[in-house]
Amino acid sequence: MRRSATVTDDVQRVIATASAEGGAKRKAKAKAEKARVEVVESEEENSRVRLTVTVPAAICADTWQRTVKELMRTTQIKGFRKGDRVPEWLLVREYGERAVKLQALDLLLQSTLSDALASVAGRALKDSEHITSNVDHLVTAFQPDSPLTYEVTVDVAPAVGWSSERAYANLQVEVEVEDDGDEAAMAAAERQIRAQLKSMGRLTISQDAGLKMGDVTIVDIEAHRITAEGEKGDPILSATQKGFQLDTEEGEYLLPGMVDALLGMQRGETREFRLTFPPSWQTESLRNVPATFTVTCQELFVRELPQLTDELAEKFLPGVTTIAEVRRKVAGAWQVEQQQKRKQATLNAIVNALGEVCAMAVPNSLLEEQGRQMYGAKLIELQTEGKLRAEEVKALMGEGMVENYLRAQRDKIERQVKQALAVQEVYRVEGLQFSDAELEAEVASAEAEFKRFNQEFDEKRVREQAAEVLEGKTVLDWLAARATITYVMPASS
């Protein structure tokens, strides 16, 4: 993304105008004037090049004269008709020397910038050029009979290197997957059937002495970190709940050890115990954190469930007549889902491994562009899920919030950019291709998705995105066919 220099309004106006005029207009002016600028390149970090551009006096003089002529043509000065030849000194006095110089400087940058960038043509990243010279200094330095020097920075496509020659062609990948065999599938089917059966039952207040497996309890939970001295520390707000309904059969969704610590608990009882958040906990800041929990039991319930007979089969799956068939179908669907998860996990692992064997200096403009896309996509996702209102999304799109995200997530953003560029490089150097039929099918699928939600779309952009998707898929399939992939079970399995 292009950004203006943090200087005066005049700087912003001149630089924005000079840059926005790009493309055809700059090239046309440069050719017409046959500008001969001297450009000295110097490499900077993160794939950035600094260009020191010296404009000869002849071009400065010509630019000044063209500026003066244009002002004469368009200005009505007292005592002269519009278009009359007005003495230059009078015109300058009328407008002010700074204003005339600013206009000349604007024209000068427009007419020389394309020549200045010619040395990086083909590798410069779109809209990444940035005139860094201070406009006040340029105005002071600009004289029609003297050369003028200004500086431009531009990001260029990074050179992609590998840890060893064609390191990507034999990636070593380890993928953590759940057991998806027949036994695991039947166990998953039983859990799903049990969950649906519970939804058909009802809860009644427990008359027993304490909480047992299968019961449900309403509890208040307080959680605190444990300090280095072993004492109760700051509260953990995300783990603090009031009136929380805890199902003892759903311990896999709770902190490991939580259900066991509560078994036997009676109504009105309070227990205090210590647990440690596991390394895989969803909240990253709590991973491996020891904590003290204070739990008070407000109420106890037992479940009354209907008997699991073939008469209920239709309620589980329409068209199915026996519970045995329900089990088979549910288990089969679970296995298909697990296989899809396994494939996606494999592709994710391959992409991560590719990024690890790839070396490059990622340009800041790409980091910012990718980061802004990621931030916007996350806000849209949260709004779609109903977690953010439209006005909240608008507030979070403020520049300060975006900048905070870019700083906090820089490492993650850089990894994604490296991975994407590495995929492009493999596609290029290995000469990979996809068929026209594949492209048309991908385009048709994407357009159908837009139409399904009555959303407008740009056909050209849809085609470009479809090509990008197929390029990535082609590369990942190629890498997977050559990678050494090891599947392992989670440590807790």
Q: Looking at the structure, do residues 14 and 139 belong to the same domain, yes or no?
A: yes
Is residue 481, in this structure, part of any structural domain at all?
yes
Compute the distance between CA of residue 339 and CA of residue 482 in angstroms, rounded to an integer.
Answer: 20
Q: Looking at the structure, do residues 464 and 356 belong to the same domain, yes or no?
A: yes
Contact 5, 132 (CB under 8 A): yes
Residue 325 burial by Cβ neighbours in a 10 Å radius (0-12, 13-18, 19+)? middle
Compute the distance between CA of residue 330 and CA of residue 327 in angstroms, rounded to an integer.
Answer: 5
* Token pair for 119: 């040395």
Q: Looking at the structure, do residues 26 and 151 belong to the same domain, yes or no?
A: yes
pTM: 0.70
Helix (H, G, I), strand (E, B) or coil at 153: strand
Q: Looking at the structure, do residues 210 and 137 belong to the same domain, yes or no?
A: no
CATH code, domain carrying 461: 1.10.3120
* Token pair for 425: 């490089």
CATH code, domain carrying 94: 3.30.70.1050
Compute the distance between CA of residue 231 and CA of residue 225 in angstroms, rounded to an integer.
Answer: 8
Q: What is the pLDDT of residues 440-482, one digit of tens each?
A: 999 999 999 989 888 889 999 999 999 999 999 999 999 999 9
Q: Looking at the structure, do residues 402 and 453 belong to the same domain, yes or no?
A: yes
Burial 133-164 (b: 16+ CB within 10 A, else e): bebeebbeebebeeebebbbbbbbbbebebee
Is residue 333, in this structure, part of any structural domain at all?
no
Q: How many domains is the chain built from? A: 3
The H or E element containing residue 444 is: helix 436-452
Q: What is the mean pLDDT of each run of 10 residues along the chain (493 residues)?
A: 34 39 42 69 94 95 92 77 76 88 94 92 91 94 95 94 95 94 95 93 88 95 95 93 94 92 96 95 91 97 94 95 97 96 96 96 93 92 86 90 93 95 96 97 94 89 95 97 94 56
> What domain range is 400 assigned to?
340-488
> Using CA of residue 354, residue 360, residue 366, residue 368, what is the dihedral sign?
positive
Q: What is the per-residue pLDDT for 83?
A: 65
Rounded-to-5 percentages of helix, strand, coil across the chain? 50, 20, 30
Contact 205, 300 (CB under 8 A): yes
